[in-house]
Amino acid sequence: GLWGKEKAVSYFKRLAAMDPVPKRGNTERVQMAVAGEYPLIIAYNQTIQRMTSRGAPIDWLPLEPAVVQVNPVMLAANAPHPNAARLFQDFILSKEGAEMLRGFQRIPVRKDVDPEPARLFRGYKYVIENPEDYDKFDETVKLYLEIFKLR
């Protein structure tokens, strides 16, 4: 990873010492923070921004470098209607498709379509998650669960 194992483990041990409350679901965590249940949460920025845009008393800041996960658009090997799937891929990767995704508070991958607001993806350092980094996924999850005393 970017930090290396030693630095990452040290960081997570210090974080675990603060007794964080593990919760599933970004929307639930954001709603609970807005309600005053938690003073600080870790959640997707677009989930927090959606609430901020609706007037909720919450804001977000990036932890740099932010780790960016790209969600691929794939075509199944045995799709019943492969040409329809290809048309969908073409649309979702088009400027019009990116603008539609932006309307759902998603962050478009196209450089000519900024997210709304642009600060969701512009103005801070980030690294794009690499599928090759998953080769030690099980080991990493096990270590995370040990550090945070989960399960």
Within 13 Å of residue 1, how many CA atoms lie on the same side as its CB? 14
Within 13 Å of residue 3, how many CA atoms lie on the same side as its CB? 13
C-alpha separations of 3 from 41, 42, 72 in Å: 22, 19, 25
Average confidence (pLDDT) over 98-103:
94
Cite the beta strand spans of the chain per DSSP E. Answer: 66-68, 126-128
Share of the chain above pLDDT 90, in %: 59
Q: How confident is the model over 32-75, as pLDDT tens digits? A: 999 999 999 989 899 999 999 999 999 999 888 888 888 888 99
More confident residue, 14 or 5: 14
pLDDT at 76 over 80: yes
CA 123 to chain centre: 17
Q: What is the pLDDT of residue 1?
A: 64
- Give residue 114's domain range: 5-147
How many domains are there within the chain? 1
